[in-house]
Structure 1
Amino acid sequence: MLKVGLTGSIGTGKSTAAEFLREEGAYLIDADKVVHSLLKRPDIKEKIKEEFGNVFTESGEVDKKKLAQIVFNNTEKKKKLESILHPEVFKEIEKFFQEVEKKEPCAVAVAEVPLMIETGSYKNYDIVVVVYAPQKLQLERLIKKGMTQEEALKRIKSQMPPEEKAKYADIVIENTGSVDELRKKVKEVYKLLKKKSEELKNKH
């Protein structure tokens, strides 16, 4: 089985690319969704409460906006939150890989992880795929999604530049055209990944 790490900066279209890979036949796990479900776990809520105090809604769920505001401008707090969530996210991804491998030994299994390069976890994958778009395009896309220019720039600036991320990639998918063009590129990439997966299986 081929373990693929998929990443890209905000507004580059990595989630769309992930969706297309899934349509082609890849197994997919999304780290953001994993985080979403972790925030509902009582043990995680407890740790967040100890660390950040009352960042909960009236119904007792984690108020993600409140939490985001605390960590966004505070590196120390951000690290604390990551130390609570990241190990659990990795565990879930590992579990996902094991389950896929049991089911289909020459599968292409993709983990979509936004901070893979920043956290160094990109080293855990056989192949790293980075979805790339230049900053001007990132900005346009985020504004289309309803962010103000200021918000969008702040978000972009808080992340590693796309050019920097691309340096860590085994495969770069340049997403500068239409959705159809992206789909075509993803199709080609999937063929390549599938081939590599077969090769890996034959080696073992």
Structure 2
Amino acid sequence: MLLIGLTGSIGMGKSTTAAMFREAGVPVYDADAAVHDLYDEGGAAVGPVGEAFPGVVKDGKVDREALRQRVLGQPEALKRLNAIVHPLVGKDRIGFFDQAKADGADMVVLDIPLLFETGGHLNMDAVVVVTAPPEMQRERVLARPGMTPERLDAILAQQMADAEKRARAHFVVDTSRGLEAARAQVEEIITVMRDPQKRPARDRSPG
């Protein structure tokens, strides 16, 4: 079963692209959704995150905004949080793999926002980066409720630059040209990955 990593900076259209893979019959694992479940009431991360960051658990679940305020721009705090959450997400992902194999899937997509930043790209058979021009990215993100230019800049500061992600990618999906163009790119990626003669070499990291 082939592993395809899907990543891209905030506002690039990654969720839309992930949906296109699903529509094409490829199972997609959403890391953000998994974390959301872990933070929700009864989630496995609520207890340990509450201990590590007192005050962020409210009404039995992790207040994501309060937690964000505690770790944004704080590398050590973010590292502590990742040490709690990543192993839990890993367990959840195993269940996804088992189900995909049982369903006979020949490939799966792992939707992981910080794929390169966490080194997860090294485990993938191919990496797809979703991109769009910077001005379109900012317009999309700033249209979201509660988003400010300062908050966007802080988020982008924690993410690898789009140009570097594109340089490391096996495939790039440009969402600035409309949904049909993006869908055609996704279908082409699936076709190429299913052809051993066309499939790219696994890792394109510099050095």
* Same structural fold, with TM-score higher than 0.5 when normalized by the shorter chain: yes
Q: How much has 1:85 moved relative to structure 2?
A: 0.4
Aligned to 1:130: 129
Higher relative contact order (CA 8 A, sep 6+): 1
Aligned to 1:87: 87
Which region of structure 1 is more displaced relative to structure 2, 183-192 or 144-153? 144-153
Q: How much has 1:195 moved relative to structure 2?
A: 3.4
Matched, 1:161 2:161: yes
Q: Describe the SS at the equivalent of 1:86.
A: helix
| Whole-angstrom distance in 2 between the partners of 1:178 and 1:48 | 40
CA 1:181–1:78 in structure 2 vs 1: closer, same or farther (change >3 Å)? same
Q: Describe the SS at the equivalent of 1:118.
A: coil
Amino acid at match of 2:31: A
Decide whether the 8 Å contact of 1:49 with 1:55 is kept in 2. yes
Q: Describe the SS at the equivalent of 2:28.
A: strand
Q: Describe the SS at the equivalent of 1:128.
A: strand
Matched, 1:116 2:121: no
CA 1:53–1:110 in structure 2 vs 1: closer, same or farther (change >3 Å)? same
Report how many residues are paired.
196
Aligned to 1:56: 57
Cα deviation digits, residues 71-124 of structure 1 (max 9, x gap): 0121111110000001221232233123212320x5221110001110001111
Matched, 1:77 2:77: yes
Decide whether the 8 Å contact of 1:27 with 1:107 is kept in 2. no
Aligned to 1:39: 39
Q: Unpaired segments of 5 or more residues in structure 2?
A: 200-207
CA 1:143–1:95 in structure 2 vs 1: closer, same or farther (change >3 Å)? same
Amino acid at match of 1:100: A
| Whole-angstrom distance in 2 between the partners of 1:101 and 1:108 | 9
Q: Describe the SS at the equivalent of 1:100.
A: helix
Aligned to 1:8: 8
| Whole-angstrom distance in 2 between the partners of 1:156 and 1:135 | 11
Aligned to 1:20: 20
Decide whether the 8 Å contact of 1:139 with 1:153 is kept in 2. no
Matched residues, percent identical?
A: 36
Q: Describe the SS at the equivalent of 1:6.
A: strand
Decide whether the 8 Å contact of 1:3 with 1:97 is kept in 2. no
Please give the TM-score of this superposition, normalised by the length of structure 1. Answer: 0.87
Decide whether the 8 Å contact of 2:20 with 2:186 is kept in 1. yes
Aligned to 2:205: none
Amino acid at match of 1:46: G
| Whole-angstrom distance in 1 between the partners of 2:43 and 2:140 | 36
Q: Describe the SS at the equivalent of 1:176.
A: helix
Higher fraction of helix: 1
Decide whether the 8 Å contact of 1:7 with 1:113 is kept in 2. yes
Decide whether the 8 Å contact of 1:31 with 1:112 is kept in 2. yes
| Whole-angstrom distance in 1 between the partners of 2:32 and 2:44 | 18
Q: Unpaired segments of 5 or more residues in structure 1?
A: 200-204
Aligned to 1:202: none
Please give the TM-score of this superposition, normalised by the length of structure 2. Answer: 0.86
